[in-house]
Amino acid sequence: IIEAGKAPEAAASTSAVQDKAAVESELLQEVKAVPAVGEDKSKTEEVKTDSAVGAAPVLVTEEVKQDAA
């Protein structure tokens, strides 16, 4: 398959590959391109800050408690 330069699905059914190509080209013609919408930086930073709080719980062992006393 690699030597032939064909996709792996071509080994099973060439008609399926042709159908897939036809559907993909039809979709590319019908779907309109839309520009990406950027996120607000402050909103992104808020999420990062909120998700970082309490992300890793701190475990205190008995040995550490005794050393602190």
In whole angstroms, give the CA distance from residue 32 to residue 28: 8
pLDDT at site 36 = 82
- Do the beta carbons of residue 47 and residue 55 sit within 8 Å? no
Backbone angles phi, psi at 37, to 5 degrees: -105, 125
pLDDT in tens, 47-65: 555 555 555 555 555 665 5
Q: Quick check: 6 pLDDT over 70?
A: no
Query: For the residues 22-36, what does the mean pLDDT come to?
Result: 86
Give the other-Cβ count within 10 Å of 37's Cβ.
Answer: 5
Q: Which residue has the tokens 């701190």?
A: 58
